[in-house]
């Protein structure tokens, strides 16, 4: 496995700086092979001749139907390739079940190896990382030490995310890793739990931070980065299609276009111009075992085709909200998406984190964690939040201070959740 993964490192470094013409030529060729496999070996796609067509350019992808999470959850085995989705030749990955029952996604080993091999470019893109750094990863998933880690390269040590924050903090302050990888929510909790002396100590050894698996808001980035006096580098991915973007030293998120075709579309399925928010649609064209063709991943973002000063030619994406099914439903049917709400901590003085919950009667409650629990002016905070909600949504929520924000089953932060989404099949 290691040899196969190492084999892909150089191609990954080549493609991230290849010409746009070469990248799009590769995407067209690989998408046609992707579609051919899907139509010939996957029951779901065999039913629809739209999947049998050949693309003359990557732009022709708009002729292909879009699928969503609901279809994948409902059909499940119908998305499994009769040729490639077999025990021993695939790698199963189970979602955390944040929106209900967990789903298993199957990846062919070559796609996994390519994704792992080229993922090394995310650390080089920071211009701050050394392969000799010891990295501690706060994760719910145990992992085995890889061969190259045993000789001191890219050494990554797991710390269970199920541990109490005080215990995580103790481990980090004792072991003094130069790099930490985690969900943003754990960094927020760690920093908030530290005294000024502990923060001062941590600033001495921490060189950089990687966040992953959940959306990093501007407010979180500033809070964590300023507290630890270090840069944060974020990446974006999912169990369904693996790594999607990685962040360079100019803090732009480059799309792994040597593995994906990524589109940003409006609610009617039309492409939106650069700079306009839309729904993220991904085709991970190296996948053979469980190919998801034009998969609506449930997130929203903004595409940017402008060249990046770092020299990488992959387009970039700004994730504006995760889980578009995480929204508030108004009486008139209007949805208030996460992006309208998650920026509240950045504009309300004295608030670290906010969670918004809607019950099945449509009643909304806003829970917030004050930055300074002793000296928080709760009355002022709650007045601001109430006025913001009335102005942006027309509703008057209950507002409550709290010490704890609920997490998903996988340990991630949840900013907005409506019980009504359960009735809508999200």
Q: Are residues 290 and 356 in the same domain?
A: no
- CB within 8 A of 188, min separation 6: which ones? 220, 223, 224, 352, 353
Q: Closest Cα to residue 79, out of 254, 295, 271, 248?
A: 295
| Across 223-230, average pLDDT | 93
Structural domain includes residue 178: no
For 49-80, letters b (16+ CB in 10 Å) and e give eebeeebeebeebeebeebbbebbeeeeeebb
The better pLDDT of the pair 85, 345 is held by 85
Cα 405 from Cα 387, distance rounded (Å) = 22
Assess whether pLDDT exceeds 80 at residue 213. Answer: no
Q: Are residues 111 and 9 in the same domain?
A: yes
The better pLDDT of the pair 24, 267 is held by 24
In this prediction, residue 323 carries a pLDDT of: 54
pLDDT band at 234 (very low <50, low <70, confident <90, very high): very high
| Across 299-320, average pLDDT | 95
Q: Are residues 251 and 357 in the same domain?
A: no
Cα 263 to Cα 6, 284, 311, 315: the distances in Å are 29, 12, 22, 11
Residues making up the chain, counted from first to last: 426
Structural domain includes residue 124: no
3-class SS of residue 113: helix
| Residue range 335-354, pLDDT digits in tens | 776 656 666 776 777 888 88
| Residue range 6-41, pLDDT digits in tens | 788 899 999 999 999 999 999 999 999 999 999 999
Q: Are residues 112 and 246 in the same domain?
A: yes
| Across 194-207, average pLDDT | 95
Q: How many domains does the chain have?
A: 2
pLDDT band at 426 (very low <50, low <70, confident <90, very high): very low
Q: Are residues 243 and 101 in the same domain?
A: yes
| Domain housing 273 | 2-117+237-319
pLDDT band at 146 (very low <50, low <70, confident <90, very high): low
> Structure tokens of 12?
């990954």
Q: What CATH number is attached to the domain comprising 396?
A: 3.30.300.30
Q: Closest Cα to residue 237, out of 409, 107, 65, 63?
A: 107
Bridge partners for 139 per DSSP: 160
| Residue range 59-74, pLDDT digits in tens | 999 999 999 988 998 9
Q: Are residues 385 and 245 in the same domain?
A: no
Cα 38 from Cα 42, distance rounded (Å) = 5
Beta strand spans in 29-133 (E): 67-68, 90-94, 104-108
Instruction: Say what percent of the chain tops pLDDT 90.
Output: 55
The better pLDDT of the pair 409, 378 is held by 378
> Structure tokens of 214?
């959940």
Alpha-carbon dihedral sign for residues 136, 139, 145, 147: negative
Cα 187 from Cα 194, distance rounded (Å) = 11
Residue 351 has φ and ψ, to the nearest 5°, of -115, 130
Cα 99 from Cα 96, distance rounded (Å) = 8
Residue at a domain's end among 261, 284, 319? 319
Q: Closest Cα to residue 269, out of 294, 250, 246?
A: 294
Residue at a domain's end among 319, 354, 385? 319
Q: Are residues 284 and 412 in the same domain?
A: no
Q: What CATH number is attached to the domain comprising 308?
A: 3.40.50.12780
| Residue range 97-142, pLDDT digits in tens | 444 456 889 999 999 989 988 988 999 999 999 988 989 998 866 6
Residue at a domain's end among 260, 288, 319? 319
Strands 327-329 and 335-337: antiparallel
Q: Are residues 297 and 370 in the same domain?
A: no
Q: Are residues 113 and 244 in the same domain?
A: yes
Instruction: Select the highest-mean-pLDDT range: 175-189, 307-321, 372-386.
Output: 307-321
Cα 424 from Cα 426, distance rounded (Å) = 6
> Structure tokens of 151?
């000789």
Structural domain includes residue 358: yes
Q: How far is CA 21 from the centre of its chain?
A: 28
Q: Are residues 285 and 331 in the same domain?
A: no
Assess whether pLDDT exceeds 50 at residue 425. Answer: no
Structural domain includes residue 231: no
Cα 28 from Cα 325, distance rounded (Å) = 31
pLDDT band at 397 (very low <50, low <70, confident <90, very high): very high
| Across 182-200, average pLDDT | 89
Q: Are residues 38 and 67 in the same domain?
A: yes
Q: Are residues 39 and 55 in the same domain?
A: yes
In this prediction, residue 390 carries a pLDDT of: 87
Specify burial of residue 113 (Cβ count, 10 A radius: 0-12, 13-18, 19+). Answer: buried
Structural domain includes residue 260: yes
Structural domain includes residue 76: yes
Cα 309 to Cα 115, 241, 255, 313: the distances in Å are 25, 27, 15, 10
pTM of the model: 0.80
Q: Closest Cα to residue 222, out of 187, 252, 249?
A: 187
Summary mean pLDDT of the chain: 87
| Across 322-345, average pLDDT | 68
Cα 20 from Cα 22, distance rounded (Å) = 5
The 3-state DSSP composition of the chain as helix, strand, coil percent (nearest 5) reads 35, 25, 40
Structural domain includes residue 285: yes
Quick check: 298 and 278 in contact, CB under 8 A? no
């Amino acid at each position: 496995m290691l040899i196969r993964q190492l084999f892909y490192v150089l191609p990954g470094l080549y493609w991230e700086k290849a010409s746009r013409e070469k990248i799009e030529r590769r995407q067209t060729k690989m998408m046609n092979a992707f579609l051919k496999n899907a139509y010939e070996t996957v029951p779901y796609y065999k039913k629809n001749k739209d999947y049998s067509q050949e693309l003359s350019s990557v732009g022709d992808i708009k002729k292909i139907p879009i699928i969503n999470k609901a279809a994948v959850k409902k059909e499940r085995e119908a998305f499994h390739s009769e040729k490639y989705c077999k025990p021993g030749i695939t790698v199963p990955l189970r979602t955390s079940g944040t929106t209900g029952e967990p789903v298993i996604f199957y990846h062919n080993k070559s796609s996994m190896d390519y994704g792992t091999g080229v993922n090394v470019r995310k650390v080089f893109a920071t211009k701050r990382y050394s392969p000799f750094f010891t990295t501690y990863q706060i994760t719910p998933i145990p992992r085995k030490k890889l061969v190259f880690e045993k000789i001191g390269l890219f050494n990554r040590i797991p710390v269970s995310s199920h541990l109490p924050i005080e215990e995580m903090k103790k481990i980090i302050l004792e072991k003094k890793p130069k790099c930490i990888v985690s969900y943003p929510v754990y960094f927020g909790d760690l920093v908030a739990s530290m005294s000024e002396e502990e923060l001062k100590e941590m600033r001495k050894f921490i060189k950089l931070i990687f966040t992953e698996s959940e959306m990093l808001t501007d407010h979180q980035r500033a809070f964590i980065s300023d507290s630890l006096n270090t840069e944060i580098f974020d990446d974006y991915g999912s169990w369904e299609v693996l790594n999607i973007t990685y962040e360079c030293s100019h803090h732009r998120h480059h799309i792994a276009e040597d593995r994906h075709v990524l589109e940003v579309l409006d609610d009617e399925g039309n492409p939106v111009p650069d700079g306009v928010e839309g729904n993220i649609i991904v085709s991970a064209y190296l996948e053979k075992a469980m190919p998801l063709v034009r998969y609506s991943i449930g997130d929203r973002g903004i595409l940017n085709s402008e060249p990046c000063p770092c020299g990488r030619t992959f387009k970039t994406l700004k994730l504006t909200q995760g889980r578009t099914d995480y929204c508030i439903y108004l009486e008139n049917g209007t949805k208030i998406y996460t992006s309208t709400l998650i920026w509240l901590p950045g504009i309300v003085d004295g608030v670290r984190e906010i969670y918004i919950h809607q019950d099945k009667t449509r009643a909304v409650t806003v829970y917030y964690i004050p930055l300074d629990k002793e000296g928080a002016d709760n009355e002022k905070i709650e007045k601001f939040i109430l006025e913001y909600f009335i102005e942006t949504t027309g509703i008057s929520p209950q507002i409550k201070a709290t010490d704890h924000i609920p997490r998903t089953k996988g340990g991630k932060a949840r900013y907005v959740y409506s019980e009504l989404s359960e009735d809508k099949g999200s």
